[in-house]
C-alpha cells in the first residue's frame, strides 16, 4: 500500500525533504548573470518562445548585486514569510545555470554555499548545457551539502521543441538525464502542459515516457502566455493554435495526468504561477499557487484517486 506524506494523494517533494531533513528547506533565488545558448547565438537567438525570466525573478534578485547580497536579502524576505524554515537552498534559477566554465561555476556555487544559513544549492539548467564535468562538480559538492538539479524537459517531441525554439533535441534531454543519473544527482524534470500542437491525449500519453526517465522528481507547469515573449506575438496573431487550460479544466486534467505517474516520482509542483502584470493568458483571476493546489487536492478527494492509480498501484 502506498502511503504518501501527511495523507496527500500524491508524493510531495516538499514534504519528502521535510521528512528527510527534519525541517522545511526554503529556496532563495539568485540571478548569477547566466544566459542561454539559444539567446547568445551559440545555437540560436531569442530564447525559448515562452520565456521571460523577469516574470519569476523576485524583486531582490538582480545580477547587478553579488550572490552574497542577493542571498542575504532573500533570506530576510523569506524569514518573514516562512518562520519555520530550518535551512535555505540557494536557487540558481534564471536562464541556464551551468552555462559557463567549470571554474566560474565552482566560484559561484562556493560563494553561495559560504553564506550563513545556507545548507545547499538547487541548480536549474538546460539539457544541452549539462556536461559530465558539471555533473561531477555537483556530485562533489553533494558529498557535504544538499544539491538539487533541475533539468528542463518541456516536451518529449522534437517538433514541439523546434516550434518553441528550444535549440536542442529530445535525444539531448535523454543524454543529460543519463549523465545526472550516472553521477547520483537528485534530479527534477520540468514539463509544460499545453504547448501548441500537443493535444490533451498527447500529454496523457507522455506519462509513459516520463515514468521511464531517470529522475527523482517532476515539476509541472501549465502553459501561460507571458508578456514580452515571442509566444505572446504568436498567440496574438494565431490564437487558434493554442488550447490553453481554463482553471477548472486544468485542475481535473492534472489529476488525470498524475494518476498515470509512477507513485515513487516526487512532485515538486503541480501548476505554475506568473505575476498578473506579466500574464496575458489564460485568465484565472488573482488565485495564487496555494489556492490552485487546494483545488487540485480537493479534486483528488472528489474523484477518490491518487498518483499511480491507473498504473494499478494500490493506495
pLDDT in tens, the chain (315 residues): 467 989 999 999 999 999 998 888 899 999 999 999 999 999 989 999 999 987 777 778 888 999 999 999 999 888 776 666 678 999 999 999 999 999 999 999 999 999 999 999 999 999 999 999 999 999 999 999 999 999 999 999 999 999 999 999 999 999 999 999 999 999 999 999 999 999 999 999 999 999 999 999 999 999 999 999 999 999 999 999 999 999 999 999 999 999 999 999 999 999 999 999 999 999 999 999 999 999 999 999 999 999 999 997 776
Question: In the prediction, which pLDDT does 22 show?
Answer: 87
Q: Do the Cβ atoms of 188 and 139 come closer than 8 Å?
A: no
Which CATH topology does 5-311 take?
A: TIM Barrel (3.20.20)
With vertex at residue 188, the alpha carbon angle to CA 151 and CA 296, rounded to the nearest 5 degrees, is 120
Q: Does the CA dihedral 93-48-200-224 come out positive or negative?
A: positive
Beta-strand ranges (E) seen in 155-238 are: 186-193, 217-222, 225-226
Cα 265 to the center of its chain, rounded Å:
14
- DSSP-derived letter for residue 78 is H
CA atoms of 80 and 247, how far apart (whole Å): 30
- DSSP-derived letter for residue 12 is B
Q: Domain boundaries in the chain?
A: 5-311
Residue among 174, 80, 98 at smallest CA distance from 135: 98
H or E stretch at 255: helix 247-259
CA atoms of 196 and 308, how far apart (whole Å): 27
CA atoms of 229 and 46, how far apart (whole Å): 9
CA atoms of 273 and 287, how far apart (whole Å): 9
Strand pairing report for 225-226 and 279-281: antiparallel
Amino acid at each position: 500500500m502506498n502511503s504518501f506524506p501527511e495523507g496527500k494523494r500524491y508524493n510531495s517533494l516538499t514534504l519528502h525533504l521535510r521528512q528527510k531533513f527534519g525541517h522545511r528547506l526554503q529556496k532563495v533565488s539568485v540571478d548569477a548573470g547566466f544566459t542561454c545558448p539559444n539567446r547568445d547565438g551559440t545555437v540560436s537567438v531569442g530564447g525559448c518562445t515562452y520565456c521571460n525570466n523577469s516574470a519569476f525573478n523576485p524583486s531582490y534578485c538582480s545580477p547587478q548585486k553579488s550572490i552574497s547580497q542577493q542571498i542575504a536579502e532573500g533570506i530576510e524576505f523569506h524569514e518573514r514569510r516562512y518562520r519555520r524554515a530550518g535551512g535555505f537552498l540557494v536557487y540558481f534559477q534564471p536562464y541556464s545555470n551551468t552555462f559557463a566554465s567549470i571554474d566560474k561555476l565552482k566560484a559561484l556555487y562556493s560563494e553561495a554555499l559560504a553564506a550563513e544559513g545556507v545548507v545547499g544549492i538547487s541548480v536549474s539548467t538546460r539539457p544541452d548545457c549539462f556536461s559530465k564535468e558539471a555533473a561531477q562538480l555537483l556530485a562533489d559538492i553533494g558529498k557535504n551539502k544538499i544539491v538539487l538539479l533541475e533539468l528542463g524537459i518541456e516536451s518529449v517531441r522534437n517538433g514541439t521543441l523546434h516550434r518553441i525554439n528550444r535549440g536542442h533535441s529530445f535525444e539531448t534531454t535523454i543524454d543529460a538525464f543519463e549523465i545526472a543519473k550516472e553521477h547520483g544527482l537528485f534530479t527534477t524534470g520540468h514539463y509544460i502542459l499545453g504547448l501548441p500542437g500537443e493535444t490533451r491525449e498527447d500529454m496523457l500519453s507522455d506519462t509513459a515516457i516520463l515514468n521511464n526517465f531517470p529522475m527523482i522528481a517532476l515539476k509541472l507547469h501549465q502553459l501561460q502566455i507571458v508578456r514580452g515573449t515571442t509566444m505572446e506575438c504568436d498567440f496574438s496573431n494565431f490564437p487558434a493554435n493554442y488550447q490553453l487550460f481554463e482553471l477548472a479544466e486544468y485542475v481535473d486534467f492534472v489529476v488525470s495526468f498524475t494518476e498515470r505517474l509512477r507513485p515513487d516520482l516526487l512532485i515538486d509542483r503541480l501548476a505554475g504561477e506568473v505575476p498578473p502584470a506579466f500574464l496575458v493568458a489564460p485568465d484565472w483571476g488573482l488565485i495564487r499557487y496555494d489556492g490552485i493546489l487546494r483545488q487540485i487536492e480537493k479534486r483528488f478527494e472528489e474523484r477518490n484517486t491518487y498518483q499511480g492509480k491507473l498504473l494499478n498501484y494500490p493506495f
